[in-house]
Amino acid sequence: MSTNKIRALIVVVLLHAMAGCASVPLSSMIKLAAIGRDGIEQIDPSEIRVKVSVKPVYVKYVARTTLRYSITRDDGAVREEKLSLQLIERSAMTRSDGFMRRSAPLPTYILRLTPAEVKKFSEIRASALAKDRGARRTFSVSAPFSRTPLNPRSVKFWTDLKFSDESSWVVLLDGAEMYFKPKR
C-alpha cells in the first residue's frame, strides 16, 4: 500500500473516531461540509428546523432553546447570534440508545426560528463578515432542562438540524451523554 493511501486511511479512521467520541456521526460532518457557503446562502431561514429528543424524566424548557449561528474569519473576526426557537410539534420518536441496545420512543420536540429570528438570520448572512469566502460557519443548539430527576448522574439526548422542507435531517448529536456534577 502506498504512503498516500495509508495516510488517507489514517485520516478516515481518525475522523471516524472523533465523530464517535463527540456523538456526531461522520456522515453528518460530511453532509454539513457539503452544504458549504453557497448552500447556506440558499437556505430559506423560515424552513430551518431543529429536533431535540430527551429521556422522559427530563423536561426540555422549549422557550429557552436556541440555535447558535456563527461566522468566523481567519483573522479572528466573529459574528455570532443566538437565535430563539419556537415549538411547532411535540411527539414521541424512536431513538437508538446505543450499540446492542433496543430503541425506545422518546419525547421529541421540533422547533423553528421565530419570525424575528428569521429576519436576524438573513441579516447575519448578508453581513460583511459573511461575504468572506474563507469564513467558517457553525451551527449549535442549546436546549436547557426545566426539570431533572433528583440528583441526576447523566442524560442522553439527540439533536438534529434540517435546512429545508425537502432536505433530510442532519444528526448533530446522536445519543450524546451529558454528566451532572454531584450535589454536595
Exposure on the CB side of residue 89, measured as CA atoms within 13 A? 9
Nearest of 65, 112, 64 to residue 88 by alpha carbon:
112
Residues 141-163: tens digit of each pLDDT:
887 776 667 777 777 888 889 99
Q: How far apart are CA 82 and CA 146, in angstroms?
A: 19
**b (16+ CB within 10 A) / e for 105-124:** ebbbbbbbbeeebbebbeeb
pTM, to two decimals: 0.73
Residues 28-79: tens digit of each pLDDT:
666 666 666 667 778 899 999 999 888 766 666 677 889 998 888 888 888 8
Q: How far apart are CA 151 and CA 57, in angstroms?
A: 12
